[in-house]
């Protein structure tokens, strides 16, 4: 039997843009929900204490607020989504590599759709959570609300921008896949040693 070199693609099937968008959306969602959980009282409302005009203490309560009663179910529901996305991406990556441009494009399209679902799910969750934080914090000014508002505002903006981005990744994955392929340049290759008839067939 003769040894033959099989040319295999070593590229990651997931476009860099899709990876960055999904990581950004997921990271912002986790950060916003974590902050809202730490700010909430009894897991469901936000309260502030201020000095009253008569020298007394004025307590302001804003409810509902995205505390643990809301964020824990969000985290629990996100876990199977992320795990499923990782497993599907792993399955796409473990497919028999090929230098065929059409095969590479197909794998990039598939991975873009998977990551787009993650972006879309995070955006659909981030917009109401961050938006509710902004509404409640703005209506109950007090100590410690400024920093939270500085986070919730951009978080809501990220969610709004991620909505069309995630939708485009799911509906039009080829656009992102082709742009990524053009930016990546030539597909790097590695030589994999094969044996026997199977190797001979792989070179045909």
Domain count, the chain: 1
Task: Specify the pairing of strand 46-51 against strand 57-62.
Answer: antiparallel
Question: What pLDDT tens digit does each residue of the chain (204 aa) get?
Answer: 333 333 444 456 678 889 999 999 999 999 999 988 888 887 777 776 666 666 666 667 777 788 888 899 999 999 999 999 999 998 888 876 667 778 778 888 999 999 999 999 999 999 999 998 888 887 766 555 777 888 889 999 999 999 999 999 999 988 887 776 554 544 444 333 444 444 444 444
Q: What is the DSSP letter of 45?
A: B
Residue 203's pLDDT is 45
CA distances from 3 to 8, 113, 150, 190, 198 (A): 15, 38, 62, 16, 10
Q: How far apart are CA 114 and CA 93, in angstroms?
A: 13
Q: Which domain holds residue 161?
A: 3-202
Query: Does residue 16 contact residue 104 with C-beta atoms inside 8 Å?
Result: no
Q: Please, which residues have CB within 8 angstroms of residue 114's CB and are 6 or more apart in sequence?
A: 85, 88, 89, 92
Residue 28's pLDDT is 95
Residue 193's pLDDT is 41
Give the residue from 159, 201, 198, 99 showing the smallest Cα distance to 107: 99
Residue 43's pLDDT is 77
Residue 76's pLDDT is 94
* Sign of the Cα pseudo-torsion (58, 59, 63, 68, in order): positive
Residue 52's pLDDT is 61
């Amino acid at each position: 039997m003769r040894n033959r070199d099989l040319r295999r693609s070593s590229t990651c099937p997931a476009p860099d843009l899709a990876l960055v968008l999904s990581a950004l959306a997921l990271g912002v969602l986790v950060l916003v929900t974590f902050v809202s959980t730490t700010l909430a009282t009894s897991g469901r409302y936000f309260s502030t204490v201020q000095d009253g005009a008569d020298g007394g203490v004025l307590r302001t309560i804003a409810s509902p607020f995205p505390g643990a009663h809301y964020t824990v179910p969000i985290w629990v529901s996100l876990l199977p989504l992320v795990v499923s996305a990782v497993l599907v991406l792993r399955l796409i990556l473990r497919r028999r590599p090929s230098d065929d441009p059409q095969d590479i494009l197909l794998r990039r399209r598939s991975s873009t759709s998977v990551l787009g679902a993650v972006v879309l799910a995070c955006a659909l969750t981030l917009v109401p959570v961050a938006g509710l934080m902004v509404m409640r914090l703005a209506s109950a000014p007090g100590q410690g609300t400024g920093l939270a508002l500085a986070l919730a505002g951009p978080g809501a903006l990220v969610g709004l921008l991620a909505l069309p981005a995630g939708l485009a990744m799911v509906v039009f994955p080829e656009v992102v896949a082709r742009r990524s392929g053009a930016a990546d340049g030539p597909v790097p290759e590695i030589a994999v040693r094969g044996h026997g008839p199977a190797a001979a067939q792989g070179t045909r």
